[in-house]
Amino acid sequence: MNKTYNTSTRNGARELANVLILLVLLALAFVARAQEGSQGNTVIHNNGQMTFFGNHNFLTGGGGALPGLILTQRETATMSVLNYGPAVTNAITGADNTNHVDGYVRKLGAGAFVFPTGDNGQFGAFGAAADGTTGAYFFANPTTAVTSNLFTGGSYGPLPGGATFPTSSKAAGVATVSTVEYWDIDGANATPITLTWDATSDVTTLTGSNLNKLSIVGWDGSKWVAIASAVDATSILGGASSLTDGSITTSSAIVPSSFTVYTLASTASIDLTPSIIRPISTNAVLNQVSEGVLRLTNLKPNPTTGTVTVFLTMGADFELTVDPAATTSAGIAVTNSQWIITDLTGGAFQFDSKPGTIIAASGAVSLGFKLKATGTITSTGIATATILQQTGGETPQSGDDNDNNNTAVKIMSIVP
C-alpha cells in the first residue's frame, strides 16, 4: 500500500533550527566586536591602517617576536596608524609596558579617550577628546629625538618632522624640560590634552619634589612654551596622582597641531613681596597730602611672565588717590604708566601690569600714590598692600609661589 508523508513540519523545524543557530552566531559576533582583544605580534606596515570598532583588551600570554605589541611605522612619509572607531570608549584594558601600541594611534569620533601608546618597552598613554586626534609616545630625549625602529632593528632619524627639540631652548617661565620622553599629538579640532607619567618619568627630580610646579609644555618651533595645565587629582589611568605616577591636563582646549610635540616640565616660579617705603613717617598731619611709594620686589632669579595684580587700600580716615601718569613720588621714580589702575572706591585701588611690563629677576618696581589725612586727631588708618596669589606667571605654576609674604601693612596716625 502506498503511503503519503507530509514533510512540511519536519522541514519547518529544520529551518527554525538553522535560523536560531544563525542568530546565536550573529550575537557572538556582536559580542566579539564589542570587546576585541589582541596578544601582539601585529604589524601595520608603511602607510597602512587597521581599525578596532569595539573596546580593546591587550591580552597577556602572547608569544612571537612582538608579544603584546601592535607596531606602526613612525617615519613621517610612510606613517601607519591604528584607528579606534567612534563607538570605542576604552582601549587601555591590559595596557602596560609590555602591552601597547608602539607607534601612532588615531581616535575617530569625539569623546574622552585614553590613547594606549608606548615605545621601547615603556607605556606612555595620553588623553584627548576631539575627533581625529592622532598621536604617538616617544621614550627618548627630545634634544636628540631618536628612538628605536623595530622594523629594521636600528633607529629612526629624529622624529617627528621639525625635530630636534633641545630642552635648553625654553621660554621664560619654564625651568626644566623633561629629557625622558615626549609625545607627538596632532589634530585640527580643539581638545584638552592629558599627559601621564610613572616612576621612570622621574617627576620627583624634574619638579624638586613639588608637584605644583609640574606643567605641560609644547614646542612652538623654536622653544618649549608652558601651557596652562593642572595635575589631575585622579589620574586618567586610575588612582591618585603623585610624584611617582599620575596625569596632568591642559586648563583649556587647544588645537593639538598648535605645537610640534609635547612633554612635561617644571615651571620657573617667582616670589613677589610688597613694601610701603614712603611715607617714611607713620605720622600724618591733618589735611596734609603726603606722597607714598609702594614697592614690589621679586625675590626669585626668574622674571615675571604674566600679569601682576596688587591691591592698595587705606582706612576711612584717609583719602587715597593715584595719578596714572605719575613718574615720581616722594622723590623716587615710579612706573604708574605701565599699569592699568582701577579705582575700586572706598579707599582702594587695583594695579594690573600692562602687557610687556616685567618685574626683572631679583628686581623691583615702584608705584606712586598720595595720602591725605581727613579724620580726627589721634585717629589711625591702616595702609595695606596685597599681591594676588599666583600672580605674575604665564601659568599659575609659574606665578607667585609664596603666599606668606604677599601683604604689607603700615599704620598711620593723624597728628595736628
Contact (Cβ atoms closer than 8 angstroms) between residue 91 and residue 57: no
**Co-location of 181 and 219 in the same domain:** yes
**Co-location of 244 and 322 in the same domain:** no
Residue 8 confidence (pLDDT):
39
**Co-location of 231 and 167 in the same domain:** yes
**Co-location of 301 and 213 in the same domain:** no
Number of domains in the chain: 2
The range of the structural domain enclosing residue 219 comes to 86-267
280 occurs within a structural domain? yes
Peptide bond into 160 cis (omega under 30): yes
Residue 40 confidence (pLDDT):
59
Residue 321 confidence (pLDDT):
97
Residue 7 confidence (pLDDT):
37
Contact (Cβ atoms closer than 8 angstroms) between residue 79 and residue 73: yes
**Co-location of 183 and 136 in the same domain:** yes
Residue 63 confidence (pLDDT):
61
146 occurs within a structural domain? yes
Residue 359 confidence (pLDDT):
97
Q: Which long-range contacts (CB under 8 A, 24 or more apart) does 234-243 make?
A: 235/196, 236/114, 236/125, 236/127, 236/194, 236/196, 237/92, 237/114, 237/125, 237/196, 241/211, 242/211, 243/203, 243/204, 243/207, 243/209, 243/211
**Co-location of 165 and 196 in the same domain:** yes
Q: Please give the Cα distance from 398 to 174 (Å, whole number).
A: 8
**Co-location of 147 and 236 in the same domain:** yes
Dihedral (CA of 61, 183, 73, 256) sign:
positive
166 occurs within a structural domain? yes
What radius of gyration do the chain's Cα atoms show?
Answer: 32
**Co-location of 228 and 278 in the same domain:** no
**Co-location of 360 and 325 in the same domain:** yes
Q: Please give the Cα distance from 208 to 26 (Å, whole number).
A: 56
> Which residues have C-beta within 8 Å of that of residue 334, sequence separation ≥ 6?
293, 326, 327, 328, 366, 367, 368
Pairing of strands 407-415, 283-285: parallel
2 occurs within a structural domain? no
Identify the domain boundary among 252, 267, 282.
267
Tell me, what CATH number does 368's domain have?
2.60.40.10
Other beta carbons within 10 angstroms of residue 83's beta carbon come to 17
**Co-location of 202 and 232 in the same domain:** yes
- Consecutive 10-residue runs of the chain (416 residues): their mean pLDDT? 36 44 37 50 92 87 71 96 96 92 98 97 98 99 97 95 95 94 99 99 96 95 95 97 98 97 95 97 95 97 94 94 98 98 96 97 97 93 95 88 94 94
Contact (Cβ atoms closer than 8 angstroms) between residue 344 and residue 297: no
Identify the domain boundary among 267, 295, 317.
267
Give rounded-to-5 percent helix, strand, coil for the chain: 15, 40, 45
**Co-location of 296 and 226 in the same domain:** no
Closest Cα to residue 261, out of 394, 103, 75, 136? 136
Residue 401 confidence (pLDDT):
87
**Co-location of 369 and 403 in the same domain:** yes
Q: Please give the Cα distance from 337 to 105 (Å, whole number).
A: 51
Q: Please give the Cα distance from 357 to 352 (Å, whole number).
A: 10
pTM score, whole prediction: 0.77
